[in-house]
A and B are shown apart, each in its own frame.
Chain A
Amino acid sequence: MSRTNDAEDVRDVIQSGYRYALSLTHCEHDAEDLVQQACLRVYRSRGRLVSRSYLFAAVRNLFIDQCRRRDVLRIESLNQTEVVDAGADHAAALANSDDIESLLAMLRPEEREVLYLNCVEEFSAAEIGRLMGKPRGTVLSLLSRSKARLAEHRERLETEEHRR
């Protein structure tokens, strides 16, 4: 990752950090709070935003800390297929099946995380694995499962809508 020097790069990195935080929290206010804290932590420790992945790591560590404090981080095995985010509003998703935001709300944080990193930031599986501290194979499996579950949720919502 290249070093960020000028103001525009710094703003881009902050926006990327915000989007990454949003993929983790799926809440704009929490994401804003998270990226602010992460940026200040990086500035305090390194004096500048070192790189995009450095900020992502800071955001992720802060998110895990917050989850531990709130005791909402759930550790699940890869075999578990039916897990819905605690904040997911299924009724809202049914009401608006085209709303990608509602569909994302039905995924777990780590599933949204790999989807964001892979699809938006175009990180490779190895880079995602380094960031998440997981093997590349696990990341690929998680990514595949996340996409499948997203599609599954979507189909289910569409079926429900047709029945109406």
Chain B
Amino acid sequence: MKHPDRESQLVEFYRQARLPEDRVEAILSAASLARSERRWRTRAIAVSIALVIVVGVCLWLFSQTTDLRQQLASQPQDGSNEEAARPEQQNNSQDEVVETGRSGVQVAEDRAEAPAAGFRLVAFRSHDDRCPHCRATGEMVARLQTEMADRPLEIEQFALQRQDGRPAMLARIDALNLTSLVADQPETAFGLLLSPSGAPLRRLDPDQPAAAINAQILDIIEQ
């Protein structure tokens, strides 16, 4: 500015301009409310995030529990689960598929012509005799066929690696409600004793002594 007093006039004008004290007090009192709003908003966001996490965890636990129950219902390992599994098996028995030959299947309308249902032992093998477990399973089946010939026990063997007659074999496994046991297992070799209603009773490990396997089977059949 050309004249120094003009700048001082300007400064003086703005210096004299003051917000009344009551207005300043009003701003400061409103500031506490604004701070409270900010604090509560932060808490609300935190609580919302926590709720979302809790709901997510609950849903995950629920889905895990449901899966576990389904697995337990479909894979009972001993006689204690037989009673729980039986009603479901009885319901499914109307649609059950009955095997009439090694490679063919027949639907339930022919069930009356099938032999009387007894205990059934199914054996799964993945590699024929090329692996020790599969070989032992085959030997166990062959031995039981001889030794249990006079017992009410049907023995079926599924060679999972074979491609010939595979659709019929898979249909048969499905009809016995055993698909879940072998579906996700690329390699398996074991035996399974089924009740007359088709409920799994005991898993038979071929590595067990032959006498122990026989004792388990006879014990269940005689009960």
Contact surface of A with B, Cβ cutoff 8 Å: 7, 10-11, 14-15, 18-19, 22-23, 28, 32, 35-36, 39-40, 43-45, 47-48, 100-101, 104, 115-116, 119-120, 147, 150-151, 154
Q: Which of B3-27 contact A (CB under 8 A)?
A: 3, 6-7, 9-15, 17-19, 23-24, 26-27
A28, A47, A119: the one contacting B35 at CB < 8 Å is A47
Measured in the bound complex, the distance between the Cα atoms of B34 and A48 in whole Å is 9
A45, A101, A120: the one contacting B38 at CB < 8 Å is A45
Q: Does B130 contact A (CB under 8 A)?
A: no
Q: Which residue of A lies closest to B30 (CB)?
A: A40
Q: How many residues of B contact A (CB 8 A)?
A: 27
Q: Can you sample 13 A-B contacts with CB below 8 Å? A: A7-B28, A10-B28, A14-B19, A14-B27, A22-B14, A36-B26, A39-B31, A43-B34, A44-B37, A100-B13, A104-B13, A120-B10, A150-B6
Measured in the bound complex, the distance between the Cα atoms of B85 and A64 in whole Å is 75
A14, A44, A150: the one contacting B1 at CB < 8 Å is A150
Evaluate contact between B6 and A151: CB separation under 8 angstroms: yes
Give the chain A neighbours of B11 by CB distance below 8 A. 119-120
Give the chain B neighbours of A43 by CB distance below 8 A. 30-31, 34-35, 38
Q: Which residue of A lies closest to B42 (CB)?
A: A47
Measured in the bound complex, the distance between the Cα atoms of B37 and A45 in whole Å is 10
Measured in the bound complex, the distance between the Cα atoms of B26 and A39 in whole Å is 11
Give the chain A neighbours of B23 by CB distance below 8 A. 32, 36
Give the chain A neighbours of B6 by CB distance below 8 A. 100, 150-151, 154
Give the chain A neighbours of B7 by CB distance below 8 A. 119
Evaluate contact between B31 and A18: CB separation under 8 angstroms: no
Give the chain B neighbours of A151 by CB distance below 8 A. 1-3, 6
Give the chain A neighbours of B26 by CB distance below 8 A. 36
B2, B9, B13, B31: the one contacting A40 at CB < 8 Å is B31
Q: Which residue of A lies closest to B2 (CB)?
A: A151
Evaluate contact between B24 and A100: CB separation under 8 angstroms: no
| Cβ of B44 to closest chain A Cβ, rounded Å | 14
Q: Which residue of A lies closest to B19 (CB)?
A: A18
Give the chain B neighbours of A101 by CB distance below 8 A. 13
Evaluate contact between B18 and A18: CB separation under 8 angstroms: yes
Give the chain A neighbours of B24 by CB distance below 8 A. 11, 14-15
Q: Which residue of B lies closest to A49 (CB)?
A: B31
